[in-house]
Amino acid sequence: MNEDRRLRAVTRLAEGLAGTTGLPEAARLVAEHTREALAADSVAVLLADVARRPRPGRRPVPLRPLAIAGSPGAGLIAPGRRPDSRRATVPLPVTDRLRGELRARRASGDPAFADADLELLRAIAALAGTALIQQERLDEAHRLARTDALTGLANRRLADDRLAEALAEHHREGTVVCLAVFDLNGLKQVNDTLGHATGDRLLRAFADLLTETARRLPGALAARLGGDEFCVVTIGTGGDELLAAARHICRRAAAPGFAGIPAPPPPGGTTGRDGVGGGGEAGGGTAGGGDAGARTGEHGMEGGSAEGDSPPRPAAARPAAARPAAGTAAARAGRIAGGTGGTGGAACGLAGTDEPIGPPLTARRLLRLADAAQYRAKTDGLLEPVVAGRGAVGREVVRLADAAAPRTPDRRALRGGAGPRAAVRAAPRDGPRFTP
């Protein structure tokens, strides 16, 4: 009778493991069917991620319970100090990433584990170990398929899925969904002048900044869309709060020495305040006018503090005589320096369901609007986010993006025609709640 029970339990375990879809579920099946096969009071599957190897002289990474069947009880999770014939432990097969144990315990008054019980437990551990290894590898493959290898952020696939799920929730429950798209300026110039290793460091530093900021926004996901483009998707966070966070990101990215990349000295000039040339037109003024570059202030904006206490005037809005002509050496240096730091900062565009963008509210259109707003910020040279649908420029962004979508996939069409463009500083309606 006991043999029949054991055979049924092992058979069900093998069948269950063949159809399981994740490491936690596989561990749960192992614990439950092992408990049934051994008539044990409780069984635990414990694993440790040995990829996080401790330094020499430090304690090893502890085993942690992944699944428990029955009551944990004394001596199951933490082994007892005294030998006990009612407790049994066998190792699970070791991989490059995992090590583990399968532990079983019988209650006081139950018979002790016999040699046949231990042999069965080792056989189950071998079967379970193989299945857990496979599930761990499948989970890792799934994670890698949805993660950017360089930065560790979510990748485009996961961002698309999250945005589609968020819009479905918006249509069901009215939840606010917002999207910020960032374009990291100057990456190609950094790669060409300082090397790809420095460019990778810049990408990782910006990804860390996004992650740090996204943690403070409920329901936020930070992702790398590819190349120098990133995004933050929020669910249940208002547009003003994401706008405040986006401003914080843009200012940090444009700060002097971001990612440890200094601003290059301007041709024929000297390095002045914040690495900006104090002489020559690369500093933002006329030859010999060192103060003209300093007046640009932090993040390429005149007037106002780094925290935005008063509306700054973007560098793009300065009189033409105070700006270097496009195509000059000074302008090329400024694209790398971004006016202050060693990179050009980041252009940012926002789109949200709480903005007047009109129908249809689809994931594809929301991304197109945020991308168009980002293009507008980039082509106008703004270090201030542009919000689709907000203000005159925001409404123009929506019009151009929707008009360009049916006839061409060329994103340059989203920039619109030439002509003067007023700089946009989107004023929050209820005041931002984001705190850097």
pLDDT tens for 24-56 read 888 899 999 999 999 999 999 988 865 555 455
Per-residue pLDDT band for 351 (boundaries 50, 70, 90) equals very high
- Look at residue 312 in the predicted model and tell me its pLDDT: 39
**Higher local confidence (pLDDT), 174 or 435:** 174
In this predicted structure, the answer to whether residue 324 has a pLDDT above a threshold of 80 is no
Mean pLDDT of 174-182: 94
Its sign, for the CA torsion 354, 350, 425, 211, is: positive
Whole-number Å distance between alpha carbons of 425 and 107: 69
In this predicted structure, the answer to whether residue 418 has a pLDDT above a threshold of 80 is no
- Look at residue 383 in the predicted model and tell me its pLDDT: 82
Residue 397 neighbours by CB distance under 10 Å:
32
| Average pLDDT across the chain, whole number | 74
Mean pLDDT of 171-193: 92
In this predicted structure, the answer to whether residue 414 has a pLDDT above a threshold of 70 is no
Angstrom distances, CA of residue 29 to CA of 24, 78, 95, 124, 296: 9, 21, 20, 11, 64
């706008």: which residue's tokens? 243
- Look at residue 292 in the predicted model and tell me its pLDDT: 34
Paired residues of 178 in beta bridges? 234, 352
Q: Is 435 exposed, middle or buried (0-12, 13-18, 19+ CB in 10 A)?
A: exposed
Which residues, other chains included, contact 136 with Cβ-Cβ below 8 Å and sequence gap of 6+?
Answer: 23, 95, 97, 98
């995992």: which residue's tokens? 98
Whole-number Å distance between alpha carbons of 111 and 28: 25
Inter-residue contact 213 to 432 (CB < 8 Å) = no
H helices, E strands: number in the chain = 11, 11
In this predicted structure, the answer to whether residue 429 has a pLDDT above a threshold of 80 is no
Helix axes 239-253, 196-214, angle to 10 degrees: 150
- Look at residue 201 in the predicted model and tell me its pLDDT: 93
When mean pLDDT is compared across 24-38, 245-259, 401-415, the lowest value belongs to 401-415
- Look at residue 406 in the predicted model and tell me its pLDDT: 57
Mean pLDDT of 192-220: 92
In this predicted structure, the answer to whether residue 356 has a pLDDT above a threshold of 90 is yes
**Higher local confidence (pLDDT), 433 or 247:** 247
- Look at residue 270 in the predicted model and tell me its pLDDT: 47
Whole-prediction pTM: 0.59
**Higher local confidence (pLDDT), 60 or 314:** 60
- Look at residue 390 in the predicted model and tell me its pLDDT: 93
Whole-number Å distance between alpha carbons of 17 and 29: 7
Mean pLDDT of 306-319: 38
Inter-residue contact 217 to 241 (CB < 8 Å) = yes
Peptide bond connecting 409 to the previous residue in cis, omega within 30 degrees of 0? no
Angstrom distances, CA of residue 256 to CA of 25, 236, 262, 367: 49, 33, 7, 30
Whole-number Å distance between alpha carbons of 393 and 387: 8
In this predicted structure, the answer to whether residue 63 has a pLDDT above a threshold of 50 is yes
Whole-number Å distance between alpha carbons of 347 and 355: 20
**Higher local confidence (pLDDT), 292 or 105:** 105
Inter-residue contact 253 to 343 (CB < 8 Å) = yes
DSSP characters for 90-107?
A: EEEPP-SSEEEEEEEE--
Q: Is 277 helix (H, G, I), strand (E, B) or coil?
A: strand
In this predicted structure, the answer to whether residue 170 has a pLDDT above a threshold of 90 is yes
- Look at residue 247 in the predicted model and tell me its pLDDT: 94
- Look at residue 262 in the predicted model and tell me its pLDDT: 74
In this predicted structure, the answer to whether residue 310 has a pLDDT above a threshold of 90 is no
Which residues, other chains included, contact 154 with Cβ-Cβ below 8 Å and sequence gap of 6+?
Answer: 146, 147, 148, 162, 221, 222, 223, 224
Nearest by Cα to 211 from 291, 293, 148, 143: 148
Whole-number Å distance between alpha carbons of 76 and 100: 14
Angstrom distances, CA of residue 45 to CA of 53, 178, 280, 391: 20, 41, 69, 58
Q: Is 139 helix (H, G, I), strand (E, B) or coil?
A: helix
